[in-house]
Structure formats: C-alpha cells, structure tokens
C-alpha cells in the first residue's frame, strides 16, 4: 500500500531505490547483579569491548583517507574516537560495575543517559546534536559486548538502494562509498546532523526527522526520496513513479551541466559581479572549496579546533590551521570567525564552560565569552594576525550587539598586535575586521558597526531564530521557522541596503545564501556576496548568471511591501 511521510529536506535531489533497513539501536539492555568475585571479569569484558571498538574506528580511519572520501567523515570518525576515550564513557561505567555490582551493558547505558542529558541543555544546535555521537559510540560498544559488530550489508550493491535508519553514524556513512547508495532517510536528525552534513557532501538526496519511517518501511520496499520537498514515498504507483523518474533525469542533466559553470564568471545578465565563497569547519575542507571554484572562504568556524579535547589549542596550533587555509587559497579572502562558543558549551578544555545558566541562548557565549576570557581571546587573535601574513585573512566577530563590545574587541585586536610587535613576530598590520549580524538589535542599530568595522556578514540562522523566537531544532515549533516571514525579509533588506548605502561590504553566510530558490530574492535586495557550503555553490551560480539585478530590484521591492506569507511565497517562486 502506497503512503507518504514528510520530514526535513537536508540534501536536494531525487532518489528511487529499494529500501535497506539499518537495525534499531540496542539500548534496552537487561540488568542483573553480579557476584563479587565476577566483577573483575565483567570489567575485563567491558575493556575488551572498548578495545574492539578502538580497532574498528582505527580501521574506519584508514578507510576515510581514501581519495574522494568527504573530509567531514574523517573529522566525524575522529570525534567518535575522542568520545570513546573520554573518561565519562571509558571509566565511569567501570566504577558503576564495581559499586553497584551490575553488568557492563546496564552500567554503560545508565552513564550514557546521564551524559546526553547534559548535551540536551546545550543551546547551540550544532553542539547539541553531538549527543548523537555519544549514542552512536555507546551503540557500537554495546554491539561489541554482544559480539555483533555493525556493518552495512553488501546486499543490493548491484542496484540502487536507499538507506532507511532510525539514525546513522559517521562510521555507517563511510561504507556508503562502497555501496551504490541512492539516498538515505532517518527518523532523527536536523539540518546540522551528521546525516545532513554527509548527505550534502556526497550530493546524495536525504530527508531526516521522519520520526517513525524506520518502523513503517519494510526491507526491499520500493521508495522515492524527494530531497527538495522533504518527502518519502513508499510503494508508489506507476504514475507517481514515472513522474519522479522524469524529474530525476531532469535533475541529473541539470547537475551535469552545472559542472560547466565551475570556471564561469559569477555575473548577472546586467553584468553585476557576485562573490561566491564557501563555509568551512576544518582546514582539510579546503579541497572542496577548490573543487567548487569558490572565490574564497566566507566563514571559517574556528570552534571546531577547540571541541572534543582536554586541552586548548595553543597559539601555534591555531596559527598552523589558519595559515594552512590562507596559503591554500593563494590570495583569495579567508574570513575567520573568532571562537563562537560559550559557558554553556561542551568544550571541556575551556575554563568555566561547564557553568549552567538559566537561559543559555541569551547567556555568556561567542564574543561575550571571549571578552570575559581575554587571554583565550588574545591567543586566538595573535594566531589569526600571524596567519594573515600569509594571505588575505579577515577577522569576523560573532554575536556583537553593543557599541561597547565593538570597542572592546577592537582594543583587544590592537593589544594582540602590540604583543606580537614586542615578540618581533611577523603579522599583518591591516587586517579587516567585520561583525556578524545575527541579533535583531544589531540589525536594527547598524551605526556602530558602520563606524568601527570593515565589513558585515549576516548569520541568517540565528537572526531568524531570534527574530521569530523559534528554536529551529525543536521539532514541535520547527514549522514556524520561516525565512520568508515578512519581518525577516524586511530586516534582511534593511541591513543589506543600509550597508550598501554606506559602501560597507555585506555578505550572508547562513543557510539562506546556499538556497538557490532564494538567490534572486537576495540579489533583488542588493546582496552581492554569498557564502555557503561548497556543494551548493554551483547551483547558486546558475541562478546568478540567469538574473538581472535591475529587474529583480523592482520586483523584490513589491514583495517587501506584502504581509501575506502565501502571496510572498508565490512571488518569490516567480522571480
């Protein structure tokens, strides 16, 4: 019987294939009490399981070095290895086994629930979703304890298959390279989940957040994954199937044509030059930036250098990471965002990061945290300034809202420069400093930004979230997260137009920049700099080369006067 399930579209395209089910997690473990004399043997069994998982991850780490493997996978396997060796996972369960005389499986699951409860309190959506790393590592250990390691079946390797799972780990996704995977769908996950990240990097259609799809779909069911609309169609009739086959062929043809655009000039029909840059998280992402033909890096999220480690990266380690990217881009701009992390985050190496606050979303984070920890901030600033000697590096400061924060930040940059002078270190004296516009107060009060800074970058994910008071990761209210809300459009247009009038460079580095359906809208607002995931860049460029900014400007002005969301949506689709 045919049926349809709706979820969150995270990687565009259409996949048609047979369902291949990935088994459920195995967290419903039995609890039994050990005899005192059996405790050492139980701890030894737990240690053996840890050793087996370490060996599995080491093998997977070898597989991710194969050319063509997305750089994200190596990072994700590394994250799992770090969690595996974390005392909270590797040591605390053994304490529970001794003190409570319980079996290893039960002790491990009890500890996992404690740890993920801490992750649930984290405000940052990306970091909060890392709780799934904990779950996946624990699942792997449980399977080692049961003697049933998880590997994807080769079944279906000769035909197109669609992975259907409750959730997927990075280790699972590594195996996709060796199988003919058409797409994947999961019950869990959001826009920044591993599944979403890997799907986009592999250009595989994917839909996540389907809730109960894994339980509804049977092995070998014929299914369609519509990665544009966030739809899963199970057992489609011949009419629907033929329609989607036609759409799929059209999309494949369009994608092959897109590659021709790699070296094409990003300019509109009326000859307006547009800068298309890429967002990255780690230095090794630079290869994708090159492959996409990006004009530079518009957002380097440096917090990844600080996460999942016991000690802070020192100045030299940070310098090497930033220099690597600056040199690799050979003169193209590299925008490095300073540490966007706070007291509520799980960077355990950060002093005070474990502090609990009543409302983390409004608490000590990003630049607020950096100004409260001047030595940490100065270390990063020195590293960036030194790296700027090797390329066109710019500094981007997140979550600025107050004039005083801008002044303090600039003073810290000058202090970092003075320290480098005293040490006689080479660095760039004239590094452009910009501010992220991601708080409505900043968007509505741009004066200090225009007077003191060199460029602006709009972080649309947080700006929309704060403007509409919607936690976009909360499935209960996610449907209210609407980038086309009249208030959102007017605020974006206001920021862009105010910056343009002041001749201040302004970019968008949030999700909106990578959505080709919104490219004409943003061009019509006056945006000339976009930064997005590298895999989205050619689709956006395609929209640019077909656009006429003069015509779009007039049409978008009319859209900005509307209040009816449906009418706005209709007109945006016609742009």
Q: Which residues contact 90 (CB under 8 A, 6 or more apart)?
A: 50, 84
Q: Which residues contact 28 (CB under 8 A, 6 or more apart)?
A: none
Low-confidence stretches of the chain (pLDDT beneath 50): 154-157, 343-345, 353
Q: Are strands 222-226 and 14-21 parallel, antiparallel or unpaired?
A: antiparallel
Long-range Cβ contact pairs of 476-484 (< 8 A, separation 24 or more)? 478/8, 478/209, 482/565, 483/511, 483/512, 483/515, 483/518, 484/565, 484/568, 484/569, 484/572
The angle subtended at Cα 307 by Cα 303 and Cα 309, nearest 5°, is: 145
Whether pTM exceeds 0.85: no
Q: Are strands 433-437 and 455-458 parallel, antiparallel or unpaired?
A: parallel
Q: What is the pLDDT of residue 548?
A: 95
Q: What is the pLDDT of residue 360?
A: 66
* Beta-carbon-side half-sphere exposure of residue 292 (alpha carbons within 13 Å): 32
Q: Which residues contact 60 (CB under 8 A, 6 or more apart)?
A: 77, 171, 174
Q: What is the pLDDT of residue 399?
A: 93
> What span, in angstroms and rounded, lies between the C-alpha atoms of 96 and 407?
51
Taking residue 301's Cβ as centre, other Cβ atoms within 10 Å add up to 18
* Beta-carbon-side half-sphere exposure of residue 159 (alpha carbons within 13 Å): 11
Phi, psi at 365, each rounded to 5°:
-145, 165
* Beta-carbon-side half-sphere exposure of residue 106 (alpha carbons within 13 Å): 14
Q: What is the pLDDT of residue 27?
A: 61
DSSP 460-518: HHHHHHHHHT--TT-TTTGGG--TT-HHHHHHHHHHHHHHHHTT--EEE-SGGGG-GGG
> What span, in angstroms and rounded, lies between the C-alpha atoms of 302 and 241?
44
Q: Which residues contact 306 (CB under 8 A, 6 or more apart)?
A: 312, 313, 339, 341, 347, 349, 350
* Beta-carbon-side half-sphere exposure of residue 183 (alpha carbons within 13 Å): 29
Do the Cβ atoms of 184 and 163 come closer than 8 Å? yes
Do the Cβ atoms of 7 and 209 come closer than 8 Å? yes
DSSP label at 528? -
Question: What residues act catalytically?
Answer: 194, 509
Which stretch of DSSP H or E encloses residue 456?
strand 455-458
Which stretch of DSSP H or E encloses residue 224?
strand 222-226
Q: What is the pLDDT of residue 166?
A: 81
Q: What is the pLDDT of residue 344?
A: 45
Q: What is the pLDDT of residue 176?
A: 62
| Residue 447 burial (C-beta neighbours within 10 Å; 0-12, 13-18, 19+) | exposed
Burial call 360-374: b when 16+ CB within 10 Å, e when fewer: beebbbbbbbbbebe
Single out the residue of 532, 503, 495, 504 nearest to residue 517, CA to CA.
532
Do the Cβ atoms of 185 and 206 come closer than 8 Å? yes
Report how far apart, in Å, the C-alpha atoms of 72 and of each of 61, 201, 284, 535, 574 are.
Answer: 12, 8, 9, 13, 35
Token digits of residue 403: 């004039």
> What span, in angstroms and rounded, lies between the C-alpha atoms of 406 and 414?
13
- For helices 374-387 and 315-328, what crossing angle results, to 10°? 30
Q: What is the pLDDT of residue 157?
A: 46
| Residue 177 burial (C-beta neighbours within 10 Å; 0-12, 13-18, 19+) | middle
Report CA torsion sign: 350, 355, 356, 357: negative
Sheet containing 3-6: order of strands: 3-6, 231-234, 222-226, 14-21, 161-165, 181-186, 206-208, 8-11
Q: What is the pLDDT of residue 246?
A: 93
> What span, in angstroms and rounded, lies between the C-alpha atoms of 297 and 295?
7
Q: What three-state secondary structure class fits 217? A: coil
Token digits of residue 497: 């137009």
Single out the residue of 436, 191, 391, 389 nearest to residue 297, CA to CA.
391
């Amino acid at each position: 019987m045919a049926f349809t399930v709706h979820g969150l579209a995270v990687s565009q395209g259409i996949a048609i294939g047979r369902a291949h089910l990935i088994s459920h997690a195995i967290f419903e473990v039995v609890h039994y009490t050990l005899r005192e004399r059996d405790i050492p043997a139980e701890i030894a069994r737990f240690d053996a399981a840890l050793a087996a998982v370490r060996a599995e991850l080491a093998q997977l780490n070898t597989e991710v070095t194969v050319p063509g493997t997305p750089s994200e996978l190596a990072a994700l396997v590394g994250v799992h290895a770090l969690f595996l060796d974390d005392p909270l996972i590797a040591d605390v369960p053994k304490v529970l086994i001794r003190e409570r005389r319980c079996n290893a499986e039960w002790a491990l699951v009890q500890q996992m629930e404690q740890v993920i409860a801490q992750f649930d309190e984290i405000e940052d959506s990306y970091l909060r979703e890392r709780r799934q790393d904990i779950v996946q590592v624990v699942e792997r250990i449980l399977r080692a304890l049961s003697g049933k390691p998880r590997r994807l079946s080769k079944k279906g390797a000769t035909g197109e298959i669609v992975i259907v799972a409750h959730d997927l780990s990075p280790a699972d996704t590594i195996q996709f390279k060796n199988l003919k995977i058409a797409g994947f769908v999961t019950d869990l996950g959001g826009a920044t989940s591993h599944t979403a990240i890997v799907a986009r990097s592999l250009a595989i259609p994917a839909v996540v957040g389907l809730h109960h799809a894994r339980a509804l779909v049977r092995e070998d069911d014929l299914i369609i994954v519509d990665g544009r609309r966030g739809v899963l169609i199970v057992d489609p009739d011949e009419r629907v199937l033929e329609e989607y086959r036609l759409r799929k062929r059209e999309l494949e043809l369009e994608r092959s044509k897109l590659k021709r655009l790699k070296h094409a000039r990003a300019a509109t029909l009326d000859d307006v030059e547009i800068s298309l840059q890429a967002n990255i998280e780690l230095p090794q992402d630079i290869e994708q930036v090159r492959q996409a033909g990006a004009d530079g890096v518009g957002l380097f999220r440096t917090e990844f250098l600080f996460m999942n480690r016991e000690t802070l990266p020192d100045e030299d380690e940070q310098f090497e990471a930033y220099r690597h990217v600056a040199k690799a881009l050979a003169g193209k701009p590299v925008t490095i965002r300073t540490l966007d992390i706070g007291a509520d985050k799980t960077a355990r190496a950060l002093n005070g990061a474990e502090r609990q606050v009543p409302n983390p979303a409004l608490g000590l984070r990003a630049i607020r945290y950096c100004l409260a920890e001047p030595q940490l901030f100065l270390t990063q600033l020195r590293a960036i300034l030194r790296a700027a000697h090797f390329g066109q590096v710019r500094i981007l400061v997140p979550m600025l809202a107050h004039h005083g924060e801008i002044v303090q930040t600039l003073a810290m940059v000058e202090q970092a420069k003075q320290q480098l002078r005293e040490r006689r270190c080479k660095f760039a004296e004239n590094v452009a400093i910009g501010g992220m516009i991601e708080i409505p107060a900043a968007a509505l009060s741009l004066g200090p930004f225009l007077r003191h800074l060199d460029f602006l970058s709009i972080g649309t994910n947080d700006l929309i979230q704060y403007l509409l008071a919607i936690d976009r990761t909360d499935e209960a209210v996610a449907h209210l997260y609407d980038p086309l809300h009249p208030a959102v459009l007017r605020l974006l247009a206001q920021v862009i137009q105010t910056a343009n009038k002041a001749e201040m460079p302004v970019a968008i580095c949030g999700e909106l920049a990578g959505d080709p359906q919104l490219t004409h809208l943003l061009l019509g607002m006056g945006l000339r700099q976009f930064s997005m995931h590298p895999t989205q860049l050619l689709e956006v460029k395609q929209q640019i080369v077909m656009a006429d900014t003069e015509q779009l400007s007039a049409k978008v002005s009319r859209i900005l006067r509307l209040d009816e969301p449906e009418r706005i949506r209709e007109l945006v689709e016609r742009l």
